[in-house]
């Protein structure tokens, strides 16, 4: 089974210090590049960013349909738009 996570799920698990639940439940989890960027660039959350960067079970992947992302971004935001498009690829 392929599992794709968006920012909300990862942040929620980070807040309760249970990011490991992703690996226990699913093994490998894919996140779009936009989600990875959102999770790792905010200087206020560098400890959490390091947890994401060090998690070998979280794989950042690019989406290959930028036009679909552009359309969905208008309604959902970049990270959610990429996650939705990635599920269809």
Q: What is the C-alpha to C-alpha distance for residues 11 and 14, in angstroms, rounded to an integer?
A: 5
Residue span of the structural domain in which 26 resides: 7-88
pLDDT of residue 75: 61
Neighbours of 34 (CB within 10 A): 23
Residue 1 lies in a domain: no
Q: Of all helices (H) and strands (E), which one includes residue 8?
A: helix 7-15
> How many domains are contained in the chain?
1
Contact 67, 43 (CB under 8 A): no
pLDDT of residue 67: 72
Model confidence pLDDT, tens digit, residues 29-69: 999 898 899 899 988 889 999 999 999 999 999 887 777 66
Residue 18 lies in a domain: yes
Cβ-Cβ contacts under 8 Å for 53 (sequence gap 6 or more): 40
Contact 60, 31 (CB under 8 A): yes
Rounded to two decimals, the pTM is 0.75
Neighbours of 29 (CB within 10 A): 19
Looking up tokens 């992302």, which residue turns up?
69
């Amino acid at each position: 089974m392929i599992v794709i996570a968006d920012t909300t799920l990862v942040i929620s698990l980070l807040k309760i210090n249970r990011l490991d639940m992703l690996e226990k439940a699913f093994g490998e989890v894919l996140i779009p590049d936009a989600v990875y960027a959102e999770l790792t660039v905010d200087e206020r959350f560098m400890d959490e960013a390091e947890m994401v960067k060090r998690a070998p079970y979280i794989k950042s992947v690019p989406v290959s349909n930028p036009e679909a992302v552009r359309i969905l971004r208008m309604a959902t935001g970049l990270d959610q738009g990429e996650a939705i498009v990635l599920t269809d690829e």
